Amino acid sequence: MIWKEHYEVVVGLEVHMQLLTKSKAYSSDSAEFGALPNSHISPITLGHPGVLPRFNSKVIEYAVKLGLACGCKITEENQFARKNYFYADLPKGYQITQDKTPICTGGGIKISTDEGGEKYINLTRIHMEEDAGKSMHDQDPYDSLVDLNRAGVALLEMVSEPEIRSAEEAYAYLTEVRKLIRYLEICDGNMEEGSMRCDANISVRKHGDTKFGDRVEVKNMNSIRNVHRAIEFEAKRQIALIESGEVIDQETRSFDAVNGTTFSLRSKEKANDYRYFPEPDLCPVIVTQEYIAGVKSTMPALPNELHNRFTKEFGLSEYDASILTDSKPIALYFNELAGITKNYKAAANWINGPVKSYLNEQAIELDSFPLKPSHLAGIIEMIDQDKLSFSMASQKLFPELVKNPEIAAPQLAASLNILQEDNSDMLLKWTQEALSKFPDKVNEYKSGKHGLIGLFMGEVMKISQGKADPKKANQMLRDELSKN
Amino acid sequence: MYSSLAEVQADLTAGKTTIESVTQQYLARIEERKSLNAFLEVFSDDALDMAKKADENRKHGKAGKLSGMVIGIKDNLCFKGHKVSASSKILEGFESIYTATVVERLIAEDAVIIGRLNCDEFAMGSSNENSAYGSVKHHLNENLVPGGSSGGSAVAVAAGLCLATLGTDTGGSIRQPASFCGVVGLKPSYGRVSRWGCIAYASSFDQIGPLANNVQDCAAILEVIAGPDAYDATLSQREVPQYTKELETSGKKKIAYFKEYIENEGLDPEIRNRMKELIEELKSEGHELTELTFPYLDYVIPAYYILTTAEASSNLSRYDGIHFGYRSKQATDLESTYKLSRSEGFGKEVKRRIMLGTFVLSSGYYDAYYSKAQKVRRMLRDETAEIFKSHDFILLPGTPGTAFPIGEKSSDPIVMYLEDIYTVQANLCGIPAISLPLGKHSNGLPFGVQLMSKNFDEANLLAFSSQMMEKVIQE
């Protein structure tokens, strides 16, 4: 990419996350996704005359959790504000949000860069607000339809400083944010369904410039990959404009996922004046230090904490630790397993190998996986004690154990007849049988082609159906071949 | 016609009448005085059903506190299954799907809700000329205004169309018409009465309150409608005193009055003189009256109009022709739906206030207007609270004059806004205020006097008002 030699892209991201609260932010209506249109609506959601908001305090708890996880300062006196604009899916004509007193300020998100380093992206703020309803323009040939189930669902908006310098960093930032909110279980982070949404403020400037260029806001990117694509496209579009002597319109653009481009939605002149002012229907919410301490005590382990633990305490590689901490259930499963077995590397391999393959094949999540960490610990122990080979364990025992999780691994292995045989009589019998099949090769070996030992081992394993203890079988073969 | 709940209840107890019969008398009286245009709708059948139920409850010894009270509600209070319009075309035909907390509480205590009362559109106005359904007429002279915005509520009580009414008061909308019509009107402390189901004009000012023939009935209603409600987050959680039981006890009080308010050249000389007489009469009753200077009279109206219109511009955004209410038939798309529905649906004064409020909140003007007005509000609140550290009440005129002819002030909004000059202070400060009928002008019209107390001191305010009416004004 030649442009990167001369220009850098400057990106700030606004992430909206729909909170997993049972009811909406300012009413007791259900916030559940996927119900029949306009079934989760009361006079409050409908914005009928005379209604008043009723604040759902769970929103504060979730906001404080996220703030603590990002190292933010938590605001003590939280005022609500009205953001005024007209749209068909905004029944009140204003959104209840926060303006001057966002619940979290400062803090940041640590990302890994492509160069293998780390970078800290500072946050400007996180504030509480409510979602709008959903307008649908493609359901009816003449009319637009409005579903108000989503209207009033609690949101947190997380705004980053314009410190992101590439599409890759944006990608890493969003991946980290999504991981974090999933760990905290405050949002399911599903960009396709829109429970996590991202707007990108994008500008470009020549390397070494200290002033920011004029920025464009891009909306409607429904995956992390599309955010990446949109930034790449916008950077090139803006540089082309600058190179041809034109100016960048400070406008709002929409991403078109089909051809990977952006198009203008509205110019700055047409931008809304939202006329923020303090929401008179809600009293400020006071967040005390005691409250924060209470939330802190219920915080789950966070991905970076687990990552540290896995590398420092358990001696795993960065790579293994990253894969394990990508998903909270996997990380916690490993964490539990690591409490039972001391063979951490084997534990990581089992989870990243057979367990994940099984989940993928069955297309299920870890919560429907039938084996407990203790099952896996049992298998690992048998392998460590040379009672079972890894291949037997992964190919024979594991698939059977998944079907019969109630049977203990050693018993099942015994009944499958796959326990390693270290009985020397049996080994001797298999060894002799194997060698007797290849009299010519035996002679060749004896005349110096020692590489043929692999062929004989293979035959021993074949005859023993894999049960031969490979170390002992190998020794016995050598012993037999050195006779005469 | 009955003039107090006590009279009605005495007759009910003596078996001389029934609530149904009382209700029927009021229904007849409303019909008789239809030209006043006080009621937008009479809930005849429902009212009689409620009356029968209340009679039934009496029979079984389960009479509610307001048993025998036939009450009208201002047309900005929601009552499930009934139309509510805030006297606006934009809510033409709109029926509420839930009931305001105050209405629910009245019904729970056996009050009969007889109908909804005309008012200024969205409670914006001081003459009731801003109703989309026509002006309310003064009961003593139908060429005069009754005051506003709760004009229907005041006239209905004064003309005996019902025993009491609910109004709402954002800047004087209960007290100013009460003063014009010669009835008692109470604006409670902000946060005393739930606003759930009250169509918002300016949320940080609006309060629902009673209008009645006497202080006792106001106390009885307040006792029922006040108090915490999970549906209004701005309510005080403090307990509601038994106002009706505390009316008899009121000792010698310290009362302040403002020189600037009494000497204000906009005040009718006869009212000024009567105010001065009252001050002397109170002194002779042994109360301590202190003249104070309060040099902020020029700021109350501008601060009030900036803040209330700002809130109104946002509160009235929901009337957009999309989800409910009036939609222009000429609308072809989203933008024309907004523009035409709102242009056609709102009246002139409402549009004026929406535009003013939108302006004062716009980027670049917010600090010059909205922020500054908020500072004025805070200052007024602090200064007023300071006075209450050493005084029980502040005594002040109710209105600058008496009821004026329909059409006389409607062309000049500034002149009209000055009608509220004595009433907005209580709303800006969030304190309770009551308007009591003080006397009759030589033009034959009544006028009121106001008392304000510190926050949530309604019990003392009502008790002193009751004593003052009995021992001073009505003597």
Percent of chain B with pLDDT over 70: 100
Name A130's bridge partners.
A154
Q: What is the pLDDT of residues A203-236, one digit of tens each?
A: 999 999 999 999 999 999 999 999 999 999 999 9
> Which residue among B76, B86, B233 places its CB closest to the CB of A283?
B233
Inspect the interface and report whether the beta carbons of B233 and A54 lie closer than 8 Å: yes
Whole-number pLDDT of residue B312: 98
The CB-side HSE value for B273 (13 A sphere, CA atoms) comes to: 6
**Over 80: is that where the pLDDT of B256 sits?**
yes
- How much is the pTM? 0.90
Question: A16-20, A265-269, B167-171, B447-451: which range is least confident on average?
Answer: A265-269
Residue tagged 């905004």 (tokens) = A90
Q: What is the pLDDT of residues B95-134, one digit of tens each?
A: 999 999 999 999 999 999 999 999 999 999 999 999 999 9
Whole-number pLDDT of residue A416: 83
8 A C-beta contact, residue B261 and residue B143: no
Whole-number pLDDT of residue A464: 81
Report the Cα A376 to chain-centroid distance in Å. 24
Interface membership of B199 toward A (CB under 8 Å): yes
Whole-number pLDDT of residue A422: 67
A451 or B186: whose pLDDT is higher? B186
First-last CA distance in chain A: 69
Which strand (E) or helix (H) includes residue A258? none
**Over 70: is that where the pLDDT of A484 sits?**
no
Active site residue B343: no
Confidence of residue B68 (pLDDT cuts 50, 70, 90): very high
Interface membership of B195 toward A (CB under 8 Å): yes
Question: A58-62, A416-420, B460-464: which range is least confident on average?
Answer: A416-420
Overall average pLDDT of the A148-166 stretch: 97
8 A C-beta contact, residue B151 and residue B127: yes
Whole-number pLDDT of residue A286: 97
Active-site residue, from B87, B135, B149, B453: B149
> Which residue among A43, A48, A84 places its CB closest to the CB of B317?
A84
Percent of chain A with pLDDT over 90: 67
Query: What are phi and psi for residue A335, nearest 5 degrees?
Result: -55, -40
Q: What domains lie within chain A, and their CATH numbers?
A: 2-292 (no CATH), 301-415 (no CATH), 424-481 (1.10.10.410)
8 A C-beta contact, residue A473 and residue A423: no
Closest C-alpha to B217, from B456, B29, B445, B9? B9
Active-site residue, from B74, B187, B409, B454: B74
Active site residue B252: no
Interface membership of B311 toward A (CB under 8 Å): yes
How far apart CA B271 and CA B278 sit, in angstroms, is 10
Active site residue B149: yes
Whole-number pLDDT of residue A394: 86
Interface membership of B317 toward A (CB under 8 Å): yes
Q: Which two tokens stand for residue A97?
A: 């949000």
How far apart CA A238 and CA A203 sit, in angstroms, is 7
The CB-side HSE value for A173 (13 A sphere, CA atoms) comes to: 29
Whole-number pLDDT of residue A475: 84
Report the Cα B116 to chain-centroid distance in Å. 14
**Over 60: is that where the pLDDT of B309 sits?**
yes
Confidence of residue A66 (pLDDT cuts 50, 70, 90): very high
Active-site residue, from B85, B173, B313, B341: B173
How far apart CA A470 and CA A421 sit, in angstroms, is 9
Q: What is the pLDDT of residues B219-233, one digit of tens each?
A: 999 999 999 999 999
Whole-number pLDDT of residue B475: 63
SS3 A306: helix
Whole-number pLDDT of residue A421: 67
Chain B (93-132) residues lying within 8 Å, Cβ to Cβ, of chain A: 94, 96-98, 100
Query: What are phi and psi for residue B314, nearest 5 degrees?
Result: -80, -45
8 A C-beta contact, residue A325 and residue A331: yes
> Which residue among A46, A53, A84 places its CB closest to the CB of B323?
A46
ipTM score? 0.95
Q: What is the pLDDT of residues B319-369, one digit of tens each?
A: 999 999 999 999 999 999 999 999 999 999 999 999 999 999 999 999 999
Whole-number pLDDT of residue B380: 97
CB-CB neighbors (< 8 A) of A48 in chain B: 78, 96-98, 318, 324
A/B interface, count of CB pairs below 8 Å: 102
Inspect the interface and report whether the beta carbons of A52 and B231 lie closer than 8 Å: yes
Confidence of residue B253 (pLDDT cuts 50, 70, 90): very high
SS3 A161: coil
Overall average pLDDT of the A61-71 stretch: 98
Strands B164-169 and B70-74: parallel
Whole-number pLDDT of residue A172: 96
For residue A278, give the chain B residue with the closest CA.
B311
For residue B122, give the chain A residue with the closest CA.
A49
8 A C-beta contact, residue B236 and residue B189: yes
> Which residue among B196, B334, B361 places its CB closest to the CB of A50?
B196
What is the DSSP secondary-structure string of A338-371?
TTT-S-HHHHHHHIIIIIHHHHHHHT--GGG---
Whole-number pLDDT of residue B57: 97
A 10 A CB-CB count for A207 gives 9
Confidence of residue A482 (pLDDT cuts 50, 70, 90): confident
Interface membership of B362 toward A (CB under 8 Å): yes
Whole-number pLDDT of residue A1: 52
8 A C-beta contact, residue B90 and residue B188: no
Whole-number pLDDT of residue B415: 85
Interface membership of B24 toward A (CB under 8 Å): no
> Which residue among A53, A144, A273 places its CB closest to the CB of B362?
A273
Decide if domain B5-245 falls under CATH 3.90.1300.10.
yes
How far apart CA A179 and CA A186 sit, in angstroms, is 11
Helix A289-297 and helix A58-69, axial crossing angle in degrees, nearest 10: 80
Shortest distance between the Cα of A45 and any Cα of chain B, in A, equals 11
Whole-number pLDDT of residue B87: 98
Q: Which two tokens stand for residue B53?
A: 């139920």
Which residues, including other chains, have CB under 8 Å from residue A391's CB and lie 6 or more apart?
A466
* Amino acid in position A137: H
Which among A26, A52, A97 is the top mutation candidate for probing chain B, defined by the most B β-carbons within 10 Å of its own β-carbon? A52
Residue-averaged pLDDT of chain A: 92
Strands B254-258 and B393-397: parallel
Percent of chain B with pLDDT over 90: 94
Whole-number pLDDT of residue A354: 92
Inspect the interface and report whether the beta carbons of A92 and B318 lie closer than 8 Å: yes
First-last CA distance in chain B: 23
In chain B, where are the structural domains located? 5-245
Query: What are phi and psi for residue B316, nearest 5 degrees?
Result: -95, 5
Query: What are phi and psi for residue A264, nearest 5 degrees?
Result: -70, 130
CB-CB neighbors (< 8 A) of B96 in chain A: 48-50
CB-CB neighbors (< 8 A) of A92 in chain B: 317-318
How far apart CA A442 and CA A452 sit, in angstroms, is 8
